[in-house]
């Protein structure tokens, strides 16, 4: 109803829809519906803006019966929940695929620390790693952490940069493709 009232009253010259959506999210979060933090109703509304307007028009022309808007808004929320479920299913598939790849024969040259870092990178594509953070994370020596990260950089699975005097490693934009290409290569004779 907060969303409806802001749109109905139209108190601002600009930004009424954004304000209405923000109040909707705030009121849902305050009432304990934490899942709304991960929903995007804007994408659903943007797909069919005429339905959004129609929900208001029907409410206004039927003695301000907000049932039309509430029905519309519930369908929007359900659509956003479906989108979230699809996103989570897609991410779960990607994580299973990376896990499968990291356990495959092409990844035999990687140790468990490198595999853990690559799995973390798959879940957090914007992550960055330093020798010190890798060392602390796995409780290894500086040289071991350095060797782990440099080997991943040499294989193309990490890119190396500098922040001041510190080397910073991060995933390349095409990380998933590079990972698949690396582990698809059959290991040579031993």
CATH number of residue 164's parent domain? 1.10.10.10
Number of Cβ within a 10 Å radius of residue 165? 5
The sign of the torsion formed by the CA atoms of 49, 52, 56, 58 equals positive
Give yes or no: residues 24 and 72 share one domain: yes
In a domain, 100, yes or no: no
Give the 3-state secondary structure of residue 66: coil
Residues 148 and 141: their CA atoms lie apart, in Å, by 11
What is the span of the domain harbouring residue 166?
109-184
In this prediction, residue 12 carries a pLDDT of 86
> 118: closest CA among 63, 50, 190, 176?
176
In this prediction, residue 94 carries a pLDDT of 76
Domain's final residue, options 88, 119, 136 = 88
In a domain, 189, yes or no: no
> 41: closest CA among 13, 71, 80?
80
Per-position pLDDT tens, the chain of length 190: 888 888 878 888 888 888 988 998 999 999 999 988 899 998 899 998 899 889 988 988 888 899 999 999 999 999 999 999 999 998 888 778 777 766 666 566 788 899 889 888 888 888 999 999 999 999 999 999 999 999 999 988 899 999 999 999 999 999 888 877 766 654 444 3
Give yes or no: residues 138 and 75 share one domain: no
Give yes or no: residues 12 and 45 share one domain: yes
CB 154 within 8 A of CB 172: no
In this prediction, residue 188 carries a pLDDT of 43
In a domain, 62, yes or no: yes
In a domain, 176, yes or no: yes
Q: How many domains does the chain have?
A: 2
């Amino acid at each position: 109803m907060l969303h409806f009232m802001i749109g109905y009253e139209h108190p601002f010259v600009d930004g009424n829809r954004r304000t209405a959506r923000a109040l909707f999210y705030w009121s849902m979060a305050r009432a304990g519906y934490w899942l709304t933090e991960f929903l995007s109703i804007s994408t659903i509304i943007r797909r069919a803006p005429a339905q959004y307007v129609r929900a208001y028009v029907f409410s206004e022309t039927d003695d301000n019966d907000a049932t039309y808007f509430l029905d519309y808004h519930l369908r929007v929320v359900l659509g956003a929940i479906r989108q979230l479920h699809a996103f989570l299913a897609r991410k779960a598939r990607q994580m299973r695929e990376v896990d499968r790849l990291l356990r495959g024969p092409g990844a035999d040259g990687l140790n468990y620390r490198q595999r853990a870092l690559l799995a973390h990178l798959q879940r957090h594509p914007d992550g960055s790693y330093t020798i010190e953070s890798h060392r602390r994370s796995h409780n290894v020596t500086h040289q071991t952490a350095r060797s782990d990260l440099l080997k991943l950089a040499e294989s193309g699975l990490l890119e190396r940069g500098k922040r001041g005097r510190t080397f910073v490693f991060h995933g390349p934009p095409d990380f998933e493709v590079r990972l698949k290409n690396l582990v698809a290569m059959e290991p040579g004779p031993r």
